[in-house]
Amino acid sequence: MAVEQKLERLQILFKEMDRALIAYSGGVDSALVAKVAFDVLGDRALAITAESPSLLPDDMEDARIQAAMIGIAHEVVQTHEMENPNYTSNPVNRCYFCKSELHDTLKPLALKRGYAYVIDGVNADDLHDYRPGIQAAKERGARSPLAEVGVSKAEVRELSKRLGLTWWNKPAQPCLSSRFPYGEEITISKLRRVGQAERHLRKLGWSELRVRSEGDTARIELPPHQIQSFVEKTELSSLVKTFQSFGFLYVTLDLEGYRSGKLNQVLQRQPVEV
């Protein structure tokens, strides 16, 4: 199916819904959903962002700016997944408990305001990855228009560009808890230091990256083709001191480079229970 036809089907879906409350992170997927929903429904579309320690303040600001540019009404709610030991113990299905908290927060709000569904930004490619959070959303009746229509990540970016969304090529930015190997406890202080480290690298001009936190070690991941340039252009001793000021003891560079979902490779070596 051509991407234009998929856009038409998305528009039809929102017309049929009549009202849409969108779980809106400010990422390229949920922003596209918010844009199409607003274009079809106007003030009958509402974007809601969940604020928690696992969200970078910069990402919250991006979400606010993007919502304003789209024109959609935007609100912020607090979620409390950090109070759940099933989440902070960081099991392999950690995302299940995160999305459970999110949708247990949004669903009552949606029903109170007359929205039949909570809409998320899950795309067709997400269905082929290990995403326990998708199960939690489905159990709570959420809908995923991009996945329903078969819109891939590449098509999300293509449609976003066509619709004039200037952030169409924005790098994926999952929550900060994804920076920790499964089984390592997640704390607010650990989330904070990872966020500070990634923010610092972005200010130095490196936009697509991850800082993985393993105990007292920060492991920097960059696209493979940027590694040599990073080593040549970065004052490494200064970078180490800065990271140590954030709370890390050791700083390393991953020579394989950045790869989405890299920490999931451990799942190939052990059975997964959800």
Residue 129 banded pLDDT, cuts 50, 70, 90: confident
pLDDT tens digits, residue range 196-206? 999 999 999 99
pLDDT at position 273 over 90 = no
Distances (CA, A) of 222 to 204, 210, 215, 228, 255: 13, 7, 20, 10, 9
Average pLDDT over residues 10-18: 96
Residue 128 banded pLDDT, cuts 50, 70, 90: confident
Q: Which domains does the chain have, with CATH numbers?
A: 3-162 (3.40.50.620), 176-268 (3.30.300)
Helices 236-246 and 188-203, packing angle to 10 deg = 150
171, 210 contact by CB (below 8 A): no
Mean pLDDT of the chain: 93
pLDDT tens digits, residue range 89-121? 999 999 999 999 999 999 999 999 999 999 999
What is the distance between the alpha carbons of residues 16 and 12, in angstroms, rounded to a whole number?
Answer: 6
190, 213 contact by CB (below 8 A): yes
Q: Spell out the alpha helix ranges (H) of the chain.
A: 3-17, 28-41, 57-70, 85-88, 94-113, 132-139, 145-149, 153-162, 188-203, 227-233, 236-246
pLDDT at position 1 over 90 = no
Least confident of 70-74, 165-169, 202-206, 256-260: 256-260
Q: What share of the chain is helix, strand, coil (3-state, %, to 5)?
A: 55, 10, 35
Q: What is the per-residue pLDDT for 265?
A: 61
Instruction: Count CB atoms within 10 A of the CB of residue 102.
Output: 25
